[in-house]
A = this chain, B = another copy of it.
Amino acid sequence: MARAKASITDLAKQLGISVSTVSRALSDHPSISDPTKKKVWKLAKELHYQPNHMAAGLRKGRSNLLGVMVPHIDGHFFTMVVKGIETVASKAGFNIMICQSNEDVAHERKNIESLLSAQVEGILVSLARNTLDFKHFEKVQKQEIPLVFFDRVLDGLDVNAVVIDDRAGGYQATKHLIAQGCRRIAHFSGPQHLNIYKNRRQGYLDALQEYGLPVEEELLFICDMTLEDGVTGMQHMLALPQRPDAIFSASDFSIVGAMQELKRHHLRVPQDIALAGFSNETFTSLTEPMLTSVDQRCEQMGQSAVRLLLEILRESSTNFSPRRVVLQPDLLVRASSTLKKK
């Protein structure tokens, strides 16, 4: 009964051959004869032999494990990224270990530690919201474990990263609103130390400038991008002497909050105020009216991130210049911002 894990040694003993022969037979090594291989495979099946990855890994210095850390796995975006990661990694023969930082640096540090001691061969990270320093990642680099960031990257750091062109996304959305005839476009944004929010805002600013529209401080609302923040932001905007005619939010959640507040005031979307969000969350096509949003190609991002990691892994050493992959976002125009009839 006792945890009867059969090892390669047990097989060898029972067959009266050496462990090395068994090892080679199991991995279908050419220098083992067919009859011997078959004997080994047969017994292996009978004893429910299970190759021990830890022992093999120890010997070969490989774990076949990739570490993934996300702020949280709920929500559309990270879920889809993880899905992309798992799919590609699994195809490449890697298993993935998942951690959540819960948007907290302390957790992040602890998790990095876990991943390292689990001997992962590479790490994929999207930063927690309050991560400002880089020390815990330096440790990873010192151990020369490939590190790829995705989506949320610390600014000014020369690291491997897969991001979408947030600026372009912000630009497209804003330009679209302008094209619909909006002239006072407000913007809800998140913590500005995060590249994603800063860049989306930059895209917004670029579009305004391109069309000669003034940038007004009062139309910029910085918050944490929750639904409630959207409500607050909208209240703020409605209280202005001259209210905006459109809102571009860097998050779908706060744009929904904004919409709810508008309905409470019996204002019409998009006629009174047009709305556009960011992320293409599932619910954006279920609201009334449906919400215009910028799709982040989340699954593709996960796939790209793994592929980049695998590439680095393959090259090992030699080429150390960090690479950056930039994906193009995709503006999905829906009813919440459609003012012109065709």
A97 to chain B: which residues have CB within 8 Å?
Answer: 65, 95-98
Selected contact of A86 from candidates B1, B98, B288, CB within 8 Å? B98
A58 shortest CB reach to chain B, Å: 5
The residue from B55, B119, B317 contacting A52, defined by CB atoms under 8 A apart: B119
Contact between chains at A50 and B143 (CB < 8 Å): yes
Which A88-102 residues sit within 8 Å CB-CB of chain B? 90, 95-100
Q: Contact check: which of B72, B74, B75, B119 meets A54 at CB < 8 Å?
A: B119
Sorting the interface of chain A by its residue count into under 10, 10 to 19, 20 to 34 or 35 or more gives: 35 or more
Count of this chain's copies in the oligomeric assembly: 2
B82 near A119 (CB under 8 angstroms)? no
Name A252's closest neighbour in chain B (CB-CB).
B286
Note all chain B residues with C-beta closer than 8 A to A227: 286
Q: Which residue of B lies closest to A90 (CB)?
A: B99
SS of A interface (majority): mixed
Chain B residues lying within 8 Å of A98, measured Cβ to Cβ, are 82, 86, 96-98
Chain B min CB distance to A188 (Å): 17
**At the interface with chain B, which of A110-118, A194-202, A209-217?**
A110-118
- Cross-chain contact A74 with B63 (CB below 8 angstroms): no
Contact B87 A83 (CB under 8 A): no
Contact B51 A117 (CB under 8 A): yes
A54 adjacent to B50 (CB under 8 Å): no
Which of chain B's residues has its CB closest to A111's CB?
B90
Kindly state whether residue A80 has any CB partner on chain B within 8 Å.
yes
Chain B residues lying within 8 Å of A118, measured Cβ to Cβ, are 53-54, 64-65, 95
Minimum C-beta distance from A100 to chain B (A): 6
A323 at interface (Cβ–Cβ under 8 A)?
A: no
- The CA of A124 and the CA of B84, in the complex, are separated in Å by 21
Quote the shortest CB–CB distance from A272 to chain B (angstroms): 16
> For A33, what are the chain B residues with a Cβ–Cβ distance below 8 Å?
none
CB A28 to nearest CB in B, in angstroms, measures 16
* Shortest Cβ-Cβ A-B pairs, 5 listed: A283-B283, A54-B54, A53-B117, A54-B58, A283-B286
29 A-B contact pairs sorted by A residue (CB < 8 Å): A1-B317, A3-B143, A4-B143, A5-B143, A48-B139, A50-B117, A51-B117, A52-B58, A54-B55, A65-B97, A73-B83, A74-B76, A74-B79, A74-B80, A79-B79, A82-B98, A83-B100, A86-B98, A95-B114, A95-B118, A96-B98, A97-B97, A97-B98, A98-B98, A256-B286, A283-B283, A283-B286, A283-B287, A286-B286
Known: A54-B119, A87-B100. 15 other contacts (CB 8 A): A54-B58, A58-B58, A73-B82, A74-B76, A74-B83, A79-B79, A82-B98, A86-B98, A95-B97, A95-B114, A96-B97, A96-B98, A97-B98, A227-B286, A286-B286
